[in-house]
Amino acid sequence: MEEQTNTEEYISIEDFKKIKAQIGKVLVAEAVPDSDKLIRFELDFGEAQPRQILSAIREWYPEPEKLIGKQMLFVVNLAPRKIRGLESNGMLMAVDGIDGAPVFLVAESPVSPGTTVR
């Protein structure tokens, strides 16, 4: 029997625990002016103020306002990043669907904004 080699790079459980993934409720979803790709989200994570996150999914969601009210999974402890002059404070988590469109990772049942993956 031939030995299988795994080409994936492993991380430790300690590295994995550094990722803070939370459910955010979409309060605002709108196209970023002068961008064909970006949607600007304002999200409720149970914090004092909504959090702004940008995502390059506009190709698949030309009517971003239809995302308002959804509870989706985000990584919230990435370093802030300026994109088109706007600060993004996290990253939307999704997988590629069969057609290449992003498929969101969502809570099966409603949860409180800011619920952390464990």
Instruction: Show me where the domains of the chain are located.
Output: 19-104
CATH architecture observed for domain 19-104: Beta Barrel (2.40)
pLDDT for the residue numbered 3: 57
- Classify residue 30 as exposed, middle or buried by CB count within 10 Å of its CB (0-12, 13-18, 19+): middle
User: How does residue 6 score in pLDDT terms, banded at 50, 70 and 90?
Assistant: low
pLDDT for the residue numbered 86: 96
User: Tens digits of per-residue pLDDT, 27-58?
Assistant: 999 999 999 999 999 999 999 999 999 999 99
What is the arithmetic mean of pLDDT over 8-17?
A: 91
pLDDT value at 7 more than 90: no
